[in-house]
Structure 1
Amino acid sequence: MAKPVVWRLLFPLLALVSVILGYVGMGGLLAARVEFADDTWDRLYYTLQLFVLGAPPLDEGGVMPVSLQVARFLAPAVTVYAVIEAVRLLFAAELARLRARRSRGHVIVCGESLVADALATRLADGGRRVVRMAGAGAPAAGRRGVLLAPGDSTRAELLRGAGIHHAETLYVCSGDTARDLAVVVAADRLRRRTPLRVHVQVDDPELCMALQARRLARRTDDRMVVNFFNWHERAAHALLSRHRPPVHPDRPTRVMVVGASWFGRALMVELARTWRLRGQRRRLEVVVVDAGAWEAVHRLRRLYPFVGTVCDFVTRNRNVATLLDGDLPDAPPDQVYICCDDEEAGLKLALTMDHFWRSGPGSVIVRLGQLGGLVQAFHGPGERLLDSVSGRLDMFDALRAGTDVSGTEDSLTERLARAIHDGYLHHQVRAGVPLGATPAMREWRDLPEEVRGGNRAQAGDIDPSWTRWAACSPRIRSGVSRRR
């Protein structure tokens, strides 16, 4: 992007140089040719005619000042560049559609959400060719490796124009599940020689699992390989891989989750799962602060029964946007996860409530999405822009973590395999086998590939009708983790 910007800045400079040289040279020429008027306005008028190859004093040729010689070639060159640039801009959208239609093995990203922008950026940075179907103002448009194909992605003819017949993968990330499913239906109408991999963003974890299960149960359709992903779950898993709650030998561990957003709820489930795998005898104390804290915890307990067996929840029904220091009666927590949908409100709480600062380094984690660039302000290389409260404050870019391409491509089979392995770890730890004792006694991310393959095979053998029911039944879904 740097070279086009430099050239666009150079263009008006060359035009100005042409005017100055032409004006000076025209003065010398008109002084020798008395048949032409010679005043300031005449010189300027003849100079501007250089840009269209029509200055009368030059029609007869002859000896000219050097400055005028330079100007009479430089000015038309500037005009030619301006015409070419105007034509390019005029037909830019059509050229992008043509290039997209002729692409091979590329990735199509539909939607104007932050998730779609982050995915398009990461895919392009990873060397993939990306066609972005969105409005003309899509943030990722114009990046190297990203072609913009503006239009409604629910229309099959526009998907065809984006080169879907030869695309490798389709990501659908508008944030509106009904609209995203309409895009998948439109793509399914277009016949292809090879199967198309489709990944659909679904924010609601329960709906995401239900859609996954119903897709897995339909094994006969090989035209499309459809996967539904929840980026909040992936981000919560990545966060706890870096920031696990501390374990105290003499007292229970207390954590606080501020904001019962989709990410906050996914984090609470992941906290319970991680705590159970670590085989802790004391239950984890979780204080939830949100205007709908009680409803959120009640729903989690119903959907994920194991959460209530691992955690003791305390709910504080408070509007986090109006929370002030001293408002919370609870003792300072060992770890605070600020998960507000309003990122500015979450950042303000992290920077102003010293109630959160009484634990060690990295004890206050702020979830960021749209403001993910602030991570560099607190934790960037070299001299940092802002102080991180003596190392206690940590910014977590959830959008970047949740749109990791390898994570978004997790299928339901992969998730079931991971759940089966988690259940195995849980029962082995309860039997006294420590983590790391054998190659199989490791968490999923550290597991040897051959052991993962065995879990995947077992997950693939689960009856599809059982899978459909598992998506809707909390008892059976939690029972997946006990199968081995």
Structure 2
Amino acid sequence: MAIGDASNEPDLSRNMDKILESIKFEQDHTRKVKAFIRVGISFLAFLLGWWGYLRGHKGMLGPADVIQYAYQAFQLLTFNMPPDALRANIPWQLQVARFALPSLALYTTVSTYLDFARRPLRTFWSVRRRDHVIVVGGGEKALEVTRRCVAQGHSMVVIVPESTPATEQLNDLGVAVAVGAIGSKTTFMRSGITHARAVLILTGVDATNLQALLVAREAAAGRTADQPLLLACEVQDSELTAVLSASFAEQRGGPIESHIIDFTDNVARQLVPRLAPVLGSSPDPHLMVVGGGDLALHIVRKIILNGPEGMRITVVTRDPDATAKVFYAPNPGLKNFQGLKFTEGEAGAGFAMGAAVASMLDGERLDAALICAGDEAAIAAALSLCRGCSARKHPATPIFVRQRAGQFLLEAARLTIQDPNQSVLLFGFGSADEECSPDLLLRGTLDRLARSIHEAYLAKSPSEAAAVSWECLPETFRESCRRQADHVYVKLAWLGYEAIPGSDPMDLGITGDTLERLAVIEHWRWCVDRWLDGWSLGETKSESARTTPYLVPYAMLAEDIKALDRDTVLYLPNLLARAGMTVRRIKARGD
């Protein structure tokens, strides 16, 4: 994809609102059409009945008779017809009306009862569903995730503790709603958990989420489905998240796979394909990340994992020392990356005029900037950065701006940028679409790539500790495969390609110097991945001590180890094909 382009993301995030609006429009349109047809048929049948009575009248017809026959035509709705009207030569108009009006009345009555019964029936039948997704919670986050899943065509059941305003919206989407105690095993059984594909627990309260997680595990204990149940819950406390994630990282297969939903990581992960043209266009790109919160630090980790060894990253934050301490505390091995610098600055209208930022712009090239702040402050900082770069005659720079509320501020900001080349390189990220991406929550495309990577590893290293099937692979190794899958987009960018869904055959032309360059990049990625998991350089490889002799520059590796990196690169076409993907040339700017 072109730099920053999000139009080809598999979760179709840019089209979600249109899809949901289309669903609601179709439902409203269907209701209106049905109402119009009922009213039209009722009126037509009434006129026919009235006409039939008038035609069957004997003698002079007076005003009182006209009114009387109109009343009798209305009575046909209640199956009531005067005995004297039942004769052999009933006019055809009355014959039609005497059956049409009662039938319509009966249809309307039955439809009304069915409308009332449809919701409980929909919930009742949810226990018989297969491969559906269960969302637990009635808050805005749960509702947003449900909307996105519905837009992608997933069968859904939502568990809410009590009727909420969201219940009506869920019913409008055609979603089965199970009202019941979240801490009750019966509630989960009613939702069809034994045959579900996934359970996403999003009540908004950590304690409630964890309680629901335990109850759901108990309810799904007798599961007999072929595929394991994906059981995921949101935990907002960062320390608790770290503890639980470490615990789940050692789980091995079984009928249930539990993990913590990290919405922040979802946003950071979806930036990798959009940044790939930057990370894959130069051996020493320079990126700026503005902010010191969780999202900014997640993004920094993703960039380090996917960028080249010569890359430079400048983190602009209010308190550089404190932010650096927070960043390195869980991942001390990342200190081996020498290109990371923390400097002082704050998002806002005067961002580019700050001493540290202005000095950096005066003396260094900037290849991309990512601004993580509140919507208004982030836009103000982006515009300030645009002015600062323009004043120094810098080329147009891709700037990614966190926008949770939508694209309105971003679109308005583009209108104020005089350089058209710069205005088209102002991008938004971090919206609800990206946070709640069903593809990541349900582990779709990413896990298909990761699984294929692991299967290729099994073919090469059948005696290693991780040489077990994907289903039995500990989560820590699965996540390592996912990180390698993220890097596929960067490798393709080095070759001038982007990944898209499809089955067309591909020839990436990976030979000679190109192969060796990508092997060097792959080895660096592997080193960063090992550092992130707490590995260090040692004389021998030890799983328990987490040491390996291969955390050295590529040039120092033995040929048989270099061959492993080359094989990883050469496997790219097969990897993409097995995941249902192909490639196309990256669009040049302005295409």
Per the normalisation by structure 2, the TM-score is 0.57
In 2, Cα distance between equivalents of 1:348 and 1:59? 81
* Aligned pairs (5 A) from 1:212-361: 212-217=245-250, 222=254, 224-243=256-275, 253=286, 255-257=288-290, 260-275=292-307, 278-280=308-310, 283-288=312-317, 296=323, 298-305=325-332, 306=334, 309-317=338-346, 323=349, 330-331=357-358, 334-340=367-373, 342-343=374-375, 346=378, 354-355=386-387, 358=390
Aligned to 2:309, what secondary structure does the other structure show?
A: coil
Partner of 1:405: 439
* Aligned pairs (5 A) from 1:369-380: 369=404, 371=406
* Greater shift in the superposed pair: 159-168 or 413-422: 413-422
Partner amino acid, structure 2, of 1:239: L
| Per-residue Cα deviation, 1:106-130 (whole angstroms, up to 9, x for no partner) | 3322234565445545555665533
CA contact (8 A) 1:103 1:166 kept: yes
The 3 A distance-change label for structure 1 pair 162 and 309 is same
The 3 A distance-change label for structure 1 pair 65 and 311 is same
| Per-residue Cα deviation, 1:255-276 (whole angstroms, up to 9, x for no partner) | 242x55543331133234444x
Does 2:399 correspond to 1:364?
yes
Structure 1: runs of 5+ lacking an equivalent: 380-386, 423-432, 448-460, 467-475
CA contact (8 A) 2:182 2:212 kept: yes
Alignment counterpart, residue 200 of structure 1, candidates 230, 233, 239: 233
The CA deviation at 1:100 is: 0.9
The 3 A distance-change label for structure 1 pair 93 and 204 is same
The CA deviation at 1:140 is: 5.4
Aligned to 1:88, what secondary structure does the other structure show?
A: helix
| Per-residue Cα deviation, 1:319-338 (whole angstroms, up to 9, x for no partner) | x5xx4787755336653323
Partner amino acid, structure 1, of 2:135: V
Partner of 2:424: 391
Does 2:209 correspond to 1:173?
no
The 3 A distance-change label for structure 1 pair 104 and 254 is closer
* Greater shift in the superposed pair: 303-312 or 175-184: 303-312
In 1, Cα distance between equivalents of 2:84 and 2:44? 15
Partner of 1:437: 519
The 3 A distance-change label for structure 1 pair 253 and 51 is same
The CA deviation at 1:159 is: 0.6
| Per-residue Cα deviation, 1:179-224 (whole angstroms, up to 9, x for no partner) | 21111111233341446431223345553332122234566x9563
Alignment counterpart, residue 39 of structure 2, candidates 8, 11, 16: 16
Aligned to 1:54, what secondary structure does the other structure show?
A: coil
Partner amino acid, structure 2, of 1:12: A
| Per-residue Cα deviation, 1:365-400 (whole angstroms, up to 9, x for no partner) | 233456379999999xxxxxxx99641222336544
| Percent identity for Structure 1 against Structure 2 | 19
The 3 A distance-change label for structure 1 pair 164 and 203 is same
Partner of 1:130: 156
In 2, Cα distance between equivalents of 1:98 and 1:377? 48
The CA deviation at 1:309 is: 4.5
Partner amino acid, structure 1, of 2:36: L
Does 2:134 correspond to 1:111?
no
The 3 A distance-change label for structure 1 pair 252 and 438 is closer
In 1, Cα distance between equivalents of 2:521 and 2:326? 36
Aligned to 1:436, what secondary structure does the other structure show?
A: helix
Aligned to 1:149, what secondary structure does the other structure show?
A: strand
CA contact (8 A) 1:29 1:65 kept: no
In 2, Cα distance between equivalents of 1:246 and 1:419? 15
CA contact (8 A) 2:306 2:525 kept: no
| Per-residue Cα deviation, 1:231-288 (whole angstroms, up to 9, x for no partner) | 321321220331255799999835242x55543331133234444xx111x7422223
CA contact (8 A) 2:268 2:299 kept: yes
Partner amino acid, structure 1, of 2:314: E
Partner amino acid, structure 2, of 1:302: A
CA contact (8 A) 1:108 1:131 kept: yes
Aligned to 1:371, what secondary structure does the other structure show?
A: coil
In 1, Cα distance between equivalents of 2:412 and 2:243? 40
In 2, Cα distance between equivalents of 1:232 and 1:182? 22
CA contact (8 A) 1:435 1:441 kept: no
CA contact (8 A) 1:255 1:286 kept: yes
In 1, Cα distance between equivalents of 2:284 and 2:195? 59
CA contact (8 A) 2:198 2:442 kept: no
CA contact (8 A) 1:246 1:334 kept: no
In 2, Cα distance between equivalents of 1:367 and 1:231? 14
Structure 2: runs of 5+ lacking an equivalent: 1-22, 415-419, 448-474, 487-514, 530-541, 553-560, 562-591
Partner of 1:52: 78
Aligned to 1:91, what secondary structure does the other structure show?
A: helix
